[in-house]
Every structure is written in structure tokens, then in C-alpha cells.
A and B are shown apart, each in its own frame.
Chain A
């Protein structure tokens, strides 16, 4: 899946990309199991065709979009994003897709659309992890509408110039480089505009640990570990000191104004 080099500011970081092997074998995708190696082992059962995404809620033009239509909706761009997991590790991934706003605009959200909610597929037949009670399925994530409309918020169909592998959230997912990885919903089947703040799956599971915003922030520790540093997968050696985590994962210049005046310790 080819994409042209993106011109969106901040879309091409200077960091060295993570190896394809690491990026496709070390995944958190609980629908296929809780072990990092589970998605690569079990996601082959996921059927990504036919696939439709329904767009609902506070918008003038709700509807169902076929994956083939979505692939042609806007020009494919390649963007090199940092990915920081809430667990304290990070990667650098060349994603292929386009700004999420391209799709959202088509639905013409109304003035009541204050938030966007993403729902992932939760099919026991295709996803063995959904049988476990780790989370309240289906996986739900959400953004404030201005966050979702930010040009860096990306709708992703591929990585490393290829079609998105199943374990990475095929056939389409979002990538939000300034937020912890779990905010980027995978294998999306529904996008809903809402007036009220959506309740994310992880917030529902442990509210004091996973807030709605979950912006990468070295100054706000997770209750179980510090977020001040991170280990870059494949790059920081076994005995290397971990690297410092950057505010908004290094995207402060682009997204900082979205949170102007907000207490980020309270809105974690």
C-alpha cells in the first residue's frame, strides 16, 4: 500500500523506524490475547473483507462506508510517527493512511458533536481474546472533536508501505501519536459523534489509572510506574539507560494548544 510522503507538520519525525519484525510481533491487541506475542500468533483468523464502518450520531450524513470506499476517500500518505505505550516502551512506525478529519468531515458533524467515539470489532469467532473477561467488550475509545479533527490524528490502512497486518489493527485503525497507544483504536467498525464524553474501555476498567485524555506526559506518573522515561524497542540495548519521555510524545508544538489552560494532572 504505497503512500506519498506527508506534508502535515510533525508527520515525519527524524527517529529511526522500528524494525518491521518488532512492530508486528510485539503488540497489545487484547482481542487476540493478553500476551504481546498473542496477536501475531492468533490474528490470522481475522477476516478483513468484506468490512464496513458505520458512521453514526450527531452528524448530518450518517452512513456505512465500505473499506474499498475508505481506501479511495483521500490520497494515501506515509507518516513516520512515534508510538509511546502507557507501559513504558516506544516504537517509531511508518504508517500509511490519511488524516481522520478527511472522513469525519464527509459525515458533516453537527454543532452537538463534541466528541467522537470509536468501536472496535468484538467477534468471538474471529478473536479468541474476546472470550476472556479482561475488558468489557467491544473495545471503545474516544476523542474530543477538536482532537479528532487535528491533522496529526490519522486514519491508518497500512504500515511499512504494506497493507496493515491483522495484529496491528487491520483493516483500519487510528494513530494518535501524542497519546498513549491504547487510545488508538484498532479494527474499527463504528465511529459515532456524541455530545457526551465517551467512556473508554480502559477508563471503565480502571478509572484512576487510565484517563480519557491519556496524553503522553512525563510529569504525570501512572499509579504503578513512572512515565518519565521509556525504552525504545530494538534500539535501546539491554543495559542502556532508558530515554526521557517527551511532553505530548514530542508533538507539543503541534497539539499543545488543544490543551491550553487545562490541568493535565487532573485531566490525565
Chain B
């Protein structure tokens, strides 16, 4: 059910692109919206644990990995859309762009950090790594979220447009802040 729900934004984007509903600059719209959904996916993934503990919805736990995997899928499509629609899949050009522009480097780093998490997202990997090590590895998602947010802020800094990054920033502060407080209380 959630599996299909997560596909909905993607299906809508494909449909909008195919029927010319993405406005005057469809390439830009596609890249940005895929980025938006990556952030939303990550934030939702991070919201699972607090929601589970605060609202006692233990049933939510099984959705966490699925949401994480989807965040990676959207991040990959975002990267692919940038590489293809913006850079014409010119690998040398993309490499130069990543090296030269900090905000692109941030985005790429966040994606690269998600890669090992995605690669170890199936049950056998948990067994192979051992639950404890798997847990530690997957704490990298916090770094991913912070770097992804920096990527977003930096991108918007070009046009001084910080309203949306501020909203995402505040939400992330709550999500991570809750974890810090919990840690302090149990320590």
C-alpha cells in the first residue's frame, strides 16, 4: 500500500511531463520536484521513529526502510535528471561541475552516502552485518539529511530565497533534536 503511495509523486511527474504540464521549463521543474520529493522522503523516514515512540504506533516501524529506499530512488532520479537534462550526460562536464560548485558537490555527497545504505537495505544484509553494525551504519542517514539540507540552502542562496529551506531546516531540527533529547534522558 505504502509502496504504491510512494510511487504516486513519480507517476504524477511522468504524467505531467508527458502531457506538457510542467510549465515553460519542464527540465528545471522535473529536476527540482525530484529534489523536493527526495527531501520529503528523507524527512518522513526520520519521522518514523519519533512517531512510533510518541504516538505508540509500533506498526510504523516496518515502513521505515521502505521510505528510506524510496528516498534513495528519488535522489537517484534527481541526480539522473540533473546529469541528463541539465548536463546532457556529458560525464566530463558533470565531473567538472561537481568539483567546481560546492552546492552540486553537497548534493552528490549526500547521494553517495545513501548508496551504502541502499545497498544494505535488504534482510540478508542485516543478518550479514549483524543488527548492531547495521544500525550504526544506517545512522549515516542523519548526515545525509543535514548535507541534503545544505545542498538545498546553498542552491536557494543564489537567489536569496530561503523560505522553503527554513521550513525544512526547522522540521529537521525537531526530528534530530528529539533524538538528542531522548539520548540525554536515557543516558
Contact = CB atoms under 8 A, between A and B. Distances in A.
Interface string A153-183: 0000000000000000000000000000000
Contacts of B25: 26, 36, 89, 231, 233
Given A226-B97, A238-B17, A134 B160 contact: yes
Contact of B161 (A25, A37, A134, A226): A134
A234 B154 CA distance: 28
B88 A224 contact: no
The size bracket of the interface on B is: 20 to 34
For chain B, what secondary structure do more than half of its interface residues adopt (helix, strand, loop), or is it mixed? helix
A242 B28 contact: no
Interface in B73-118: 84-86, 88, 97, 100-101, 103
A225 B157 CA distance: 13
A209 interface: yes
Interface size class of A (residues with CB under 8 A): 20 to 34
B27 A132 contact: no
Given A135-B160, A205-B160, A231 B27 contact: yes
Contacts of B86: 242
A25 B160 CA distance: 21
A34 B161 contact: yes
B51 interface: no
A22 B160 contact: no
Give the one of B84, B86, B160 with max A CB within 10 A.
B160
A18 B157 CA distance: 29
Given A26-B24, A231-B25, A206 B101 contact: no
Question: Which secondary structure dominates chain A's binding surface?
Answer: loop
A37 B23 contact: yes
Contact of A224 (B23, B27, B103, B160): B103
B163 interface: yes
B28 A224 contact: no
B27 A234 contact: no
Contacts of A134: 159-161
B158 A25 contact: no
Interface of B: 17, 23-28, 30, 84-86, 88, 97, 100-101, 103, 154-155, 157-161, 163
Given A238-B26, A241-B88, 15 more contacts: A25-B23, A26-B24, A34-B159, A36-B24, A89-B28, A132-B163, A135-B160, A221-B100, A223-B158, A224-B154, A224-B158, A225-B158, A238-B17, A242-B86, A242-B88
